[in-house]
Copies of this chain bind each other. A is one copy, B any other.
């Protein structure tokens, strides 16, 4: 059993390769094999968001604070609020992030397949984000 106290692992900032705006990450778990789940807390500043991306085994988001946005390719942007859970199917192209005037923090849970848990794609443009 490993207990990681809340103050024991520093927050990191997500790189601009896969994100737009200021995004912070706090680790929850990277389970060793044969388990394959990965979870982290992700905190988006207002206007910040992921690139478009997919997950080989899907992803679960659980919103814990703020006001957020999520979009599946080809559908309209949806607002997400604390307590909301989102299940994203394997291979489903999507993005998520904060609302333009609100921060948003969620827990992200995904499983790793063949060494990766996400396939990163192009940026979400300001035009796409503002729609």
Residues of A within 8 A of B (CB): 1-7, 27-29, 31, 34-37, 39, 57-58, 60, 62, 64, 70, 72, 75, 78, 80-90, 92, 94, 107, 109-111
Copies, count? 2
Q: Can you pick out 17 interface pairs between chain A and chain B where the beta carbons lie within 8 Å of each other?
A: A1-B72, A1-B89, A2-B87, A3-B86, A4-B87, A28-B62, A28-B85, A29-B60, A29-B87, A29-B109, A31-B57, A31-B60, A31-B111, A37-B60, A39-B109, A64-B64, A107-B107
**Main SS of the interface on chain A?**
strand
The reply to whether A37 and B34 form a contact with Cβ atoms under 8 Å apart is: no
Which listed residue (B39, B70, B89) contacts A3, Cβ 8 A?
A: B70
CA distance A75 to B3 in the complex (A): 13
**Chain B proximity of A23: nearest CB distance (Å):** 19
**Chain B proximity of A29: nearest CB distance (Å):** 4
Query: Which residues of chain B have C-beta atoms less than 8 A from A64's C-beta?
Result: 64
